[in-house]
Amino acid sequence: MEGAIHQFDAGLRLIGFPGAVVTPRSVGEVLLLRTAPAKQRGVASARTMTDPQAEWRALMLAAFAGDAGAYHKLLVVLAPPIRAFVGRRLPNDRAGVEDIVQETLLAIHRFRDRYDPAQPLVPWVYAIARYKLVDHCRRAKRGGVAVPLAGVE
């Protein structure tokens, strides 16, 4: 991409290239785009991103050894990715997403003794979240529409 010529909008924005360094090449809309390396832009490359599998597994093993702080941290660290996973599948149901996240964390707590430390933790966590999502959808389908009782006489 280095040295490529691109068209920019009136605001001099090139969507999809955060952190790109632009320098005027001529008067008008044509600019020279020089993309800085990922390290200089503060963007982590795929190689430098942390592996959740290693961190989550270490926390789970520490929890098995009796470290309550590690177990608490594990549950805190798991909540955002579970929320994102479920939120992508239920984009218009924030309350449902939060319910599923809580149900998933509770299931992880209740069935933590069934986790096999020889197996990867990430698929186990997402499988539980997926099953809780399916359960939620089944309940919603059977239950019909929920009507709030506030204002009903």
Could you tell me the residue range of the domain that residue 67 belongs to? Answer: 52-143
Please check whether residue 78 lies inside any domain of the structure: yes
Task: Report the pLDDT averaged over residues 130-151.
Answer: 75
E strands, the chain, in order: 4-7, 21-24, 30-34
pLDDT tens per residue across span 82-132 = 999 999 999 999 999 999 999 999 999 999 999 999 999 999 999 999 999
* Alpha carbon separation from 17 to 6, 38, 93, 99 (Å, rounded): 12, 11, 31, 36
Q: How many domains does the chain have?
A: 2
* Alpha carbon separation from 12 to 2, 6, 43 (Å, rounded): 18, 11, 21
Q: Give yes or no: residues 59 and 107 share one domain.
A: yes
The pLDDT-based confidence of 146 (bands split at 50, 70, 90) is low
Residue 23 pairs with which residues in a beta bridge?
A: 32
Please check whether residue 150 lies inside any domain of the structure: no
Q: Does the predicted model carry a pTM greater than 0.85? A: no
Residue 116 is predicted with a pLDDT of 93
